[in-house]
Structure 1
Amino acid sequence: MANIITDKDFATKTSEGVTLVDFWAPWCGPCRMQSPIVDELAEEMEGQVAVYKMNVDEEPQTAQGFGIMSIPTLLVKKDGEVVEKLVGFHDKARLQEVLNRHI
């Protein structure tokens, strides 16, 4: 299962290695479809990719800082730098392909 991340700890937790951050909100239908896939990847890629979820209603600063205008948006970071930004729903195979490029 993906860990929760906040505006306060975002920079620290995503500064090393490969990270996937799912920006979502509880009222967002596509986010609810994306969530179980993100959780599966968190388990399957443990030790290779750190996976986090950020509720944009509760933690708006980081989303605003990255110009996130629609959700779900998934950011892939490698050693603190954004290497991929995926907007909208993406299936598991697509996310695995993207993550594998950066591992």
Structure 2
Amino acid sequence: MKQIKSNEEYAASTERGRVMVEFYANWCPDCKRIEPYFDEWEEKYASDFSMVRANRDELPDLGEKLEILGIPTFIAYENGQEVARLFSRDAKSKEQVESFFDQAYEK
């Protein structure tokens, strides 16, 4: 999965198409709990959206700008616009994250 390393790369990655972004941190136990599913999710949802990851601790300005207050946080983008967000309190299991993925672009 593509790892975002700068604010500019984040903007470029989310400006076109459907993109799911996960904000995480290396010390986050909930992030580590769902991390083993990323390859599966990338394959399962490849026709619906692309997936990228951004380390909240490495991009503090971006995290602040986007009001990433808990991790993991998932943000669904469509052509540069945020269309849905999954907050950390609801992103603790494979089932919760997949439910969000299934519903993110249905609006």
TM-score strictly above 0.5: yes
Give the drift of 1:99.
Answer: 3.9
Q: Which amino acid aligns with 1:74?
A: F
Which blocks of at least 5 consecutive residues in structure 1 are unaligned?
A: none
Matches within 5 A, 1:1-103: 2-6=1-5, 7-88=7-88, 89=91, 90=93, 91=95, 92-99=97-104, 101=106
Percent identity reads 25
For residues 3 and 47 of structure 2, the distance between their equivalents in structure 1, rounded to whole angstroms, comes to: 17
* CA drift at 1:59: 1.6
Question: Where do 4+ consecutive residues of structure 1 move more than 6 Å?
Answer: none
1:47 CA displacement: 4.3
8 Å CA contact 1:22–1:75 kept in 2: the answer is: yes
Segments of structure 2 that go 5 or more residues without pairing to the other structure are: none
Take 1:12 and 1:37, find their aligned partners in 2: how far apart are those partners? 25
- Alpha-carbon shift at residue 94 of structure 1 (Å): 0.6
Q: In 2, distance between residues paired with 1:41 and 1:99?
A: 14
Higher relative contact order (CA 8 A, sep 6+): 1
**C-alpha displacement at 1:16, in angstroms?**
0.8
TM-score, normalization by structure 1:
0.85
More helix per residue: 1 or 2? 2
How far apart, CA to CA, are the structure 1 residues paired with 2:10 and 2:25? Answer: 17
What RMSD over aligned residues (CA atoms) do the two structures have, in Å?
1.8
